[in-house]
Amino acid sequence: MRYKLFGKSGLRVSELCLGTMTFGDEWGWGASKEESRKMFDAYVNAGGTFVDTANGYTNGTSEKFVGEFIAQDRERFVLATKFTFGGKPNYPNGAGNHRKSMVQALNASLKRLNTDYVDVYWVHAWDQITPLEELMRALDDMVRAGKVLYVGFSDAPAWVVSRANTLAEERGWTIFTGLQIPYSLLERTPERELLPMAKTLDLTVAAWSPLGGGILSGKYNTGTAENDARMKQDYPRSHFTVNDRTLKVAGEVVEIARELDRSPSQVSLNWLRQRKNALVVPIIGSRRLSQLEDNLACLDFSLDDGTVKRLDEVSAIDLGFPMSFISREWTKKAILGEAWDRFDNHRTL
């Protein structure tokens, strides 16, 4: 396991992050405490230190398990948790990005985690209501109180994250150093705005669902009409669906895995690890030890340029306006002049 700097900070995180949404079986498809402990130990034995949870995962059980597992060596780990939902959703102020929700959620998380601080505190999702000034000042207060060391934003538009950081920089508050978003061979839409923003602002990208809800493992490439129903049964809250495109991408991954004598999951994770458009740390989450061990084995090899190109091509998306317009050769020539293709631009995204 190698380590990466966490955004515009000196914090070091392992190149794979352990996702713990499956720690606990309250949702009907997670892992028992015993299996969760085995997965945690396997990750640690591989050199992993970056552990991600949230106040709402498995109704709080995930945080309790994680807190117990890291207790004997707390300082070794970069512990990340989140707030926004998962508190008391039946109360008017029991969820959201506002200060009251944050304070309630953080205090409850610290209690479940049995620690007095978290290393990274994520805003779990943009609530579209709370003023960004309130959010950033409240996060800064948590940092100044010593309860939080670094902050990140999950699941928000690029303009929201960039505006929030601009406000924080202008007013001397703590800025976001991490961005957590879905990113994989099946979900490349972040390349339109979010990844260029992350690279420009020096945000580490923690990629959730790097295997596309399990589709990239190839297990749905059976050609049966029951695939989509099976997907919904396996992952009832999944962001992904089984369709012609996702099966085509997964099929190419399966073929490459066969050629390399590796698993499809390992191939998919290495495509992410080798991205050059941002600093990407895949979040690996499993329900069984065998799955996690298979994911960790992606560290044993790399994909060559030809293989990366095959995966890029089969999963390519239309970047849409304005990138599809300003990236055209004619437009570049009009904007930059006849010598546009002879510029050495170190800021190329």
pTM over the 0.75 mark:
yes
Active site residue 57: yes
The whole-number pLDDT of residue 230 equals: 65
What b/e string do you get for 286-303 counting C-beta neighbours within 10 Å, with b at 16 or more? bbebebbebbbebbeeeb
Q: What is the pLDDT of residues 197-224, one digit of tens each?
A: 999 999 999 999 999 999 999 988 876 5
Q: Enumerate the β-bridge partners of residue 182.
A: 208
Q: What is the pLDDT of residues 12-60, one digit of tens each?
A: 999 999 999 999 999 988 999 999 999 999 999 999 999 999 999 999 9
Q: Which of 57, 121, 150, 183 is catalytic?
A: 57
Mean pLDDT for the chain overall: 94
Name the CATH superfamily, with its identifier, for domain 3-317: NADP-dependent oxidoreductase domain (3.20.20.100)
Overall average pLDDT of the 169-191 stretch:
98
Q: What is the pLDDT of residues 71-87, one digit of tens each?
A: 999 999 999 999 999 88
What are the boundaries of each domain within the chain? 3-317
Q: What is the pLDDT of residues 94-125, one digit of tens each?
A: 999 999 999 999 999 999 999 999 999 999 99
